[in-house]
Structures are given as structure tokens and as C-alpha cells.
Amino acid sequence: MRRLRREMQIIFQDPFASLNPGMTVGQIIGEPISFHGLAKGTALNERVADLLRTVGLQPGTRSFTRMSFRASSGSALALHGRSRASPS
């Protein structure tokens, strides 16, 4: 069953309600990769950065929290790697 879980995923209707507000984007994305033993350390960080780029976000957004994205309301603020938590 564990191997099958790598091929399945849950898609929540309200992502803001389903994401842990205490975790960063990088932790949320990296958790299943780490859990399944697919990468760790530097390789995990690179994989998270690649996935963020795939969806059009800069790797620097990995340090954002859920509230950082909510505050930007999906605006260009998030896409340019800026948030209240980490001003640039």
C-alpha cells in the first residue's frame, strides 16, 4: 500500500484551510518527498526549488508561510518572492 500512496494524492477544496499555518511552503512540499525517502538534505532542497519553478514561483517562496500567500491574495507579490515575513 505504501508504494501505491506515492501515486495517489488528496486534493483539498480549500487549500488555505488544509495547510498547516506553522509550516513553510518548503516544508509542506518537502514533507511527502522526505517521508517516502525520495530525497533528503541538499537533494530535497533542490527538488522543492524545481517544483516551485514548475508552478511559476521563485525558489525563495519556500520560506513563505500560508499567511504570506494569503496576505498577497495571489498577487504578483508572491510571484516576485516578497512577503511580510521576508522583505527583499
Domain range annotation of the chain? 22-79
The pLDDT of residue 72 is 54
CA 53 to chain centre: 11
Per-residue pLDDT of the chain (88 residues; tens, 9 = 90+): 878 888 887 776 776 677 788 899 999 999 999 999 999 999 999 999 999 999 999 999 999 987 776 655 444 444 444 444 444 3
The pLDDT of residue 67 is 73
Q: Distances in Å between the alpha carbon of 57 and those of 7, 9, 37, 46, 54?
A: 24, 21, 24, 14, 7
Question: 42 is written with which cell numbers?
Answer: 541538499
